[in-house]
Amino acid sequence: MRTDIELINAFLPRPITNEAELIATQKQINSLLDKKQLTQDDQDYLKVLGMLVYEYEEKHEQIPEIKGVELLKAASEEFGVHHKDLINIFNSELVILDILQGKQRLTRKQEQQLMEHFM
């Protein structure tokens, strides 16, 4: 069993500055996740590495801005949500179907409610 010092010496956690460092950090995370049982040291180390990956991705990964029906479709696919699950936002299954078929547009309020629902 490796101690936290051995973990740190094997792969020193540092701010990620490029894609190669991101990949190396992700490989280190994956190698730890492949273990059958994680010690508290492993869990703490994973948390630190995860924060470094998150920080890098927040600065360098562009999230495409999706609006309208594409927002509804993408969110439904990503989260496995069926249109019936969104009736509280649209008040009617018919409205959802009309939006998906391009017969009606999402309102700004509906877009905002969708973003809040999926966040």
What pLDDT, in 10s, does the model give residues 39-67? 888 899 999 999 999 999 888 876 667 67
Q: Report the pLDDT value the prediction gives residue 1, as an integer from 0 to 100.
A: 55
Q: Report the pLDDT value the prediction gives residue 51, as an integer from 0 to 100.
A: 94
- For the chain, give the mean pLDDT: 83
Residue 58 — φ and ψ, nearest 5°? -60, -35
Only one residue has tokens 């973003």, namely: 115
Q: Report the pLDDT value the prediction gives residue 92, as an integer from 0 to 100.
A: 85
**Domain final residue pick, 15, 43, 60:** 60
Domain enclosing residue 105, as ranges = 68-118
Q: At 15, is the pLDDT very low, low, confident or very high (cuts 50, 70, 90)?
A: very high
What span, in angstroms and rounded, lies between the C-alpha atoms of 77 and 70?
Answer: 10
Whether residues 50 and 81 share a domain: the answer is no
Whether residues 73 and 112 share a domain: the answer is yes
What span, in angstroms and rounded, lies between the C-alpha atoms of 79 and 86?
Answer: 12
What span, in angstroms and rounded, lies between the C-alpha atoms of 40 and 53?
Answer: 20
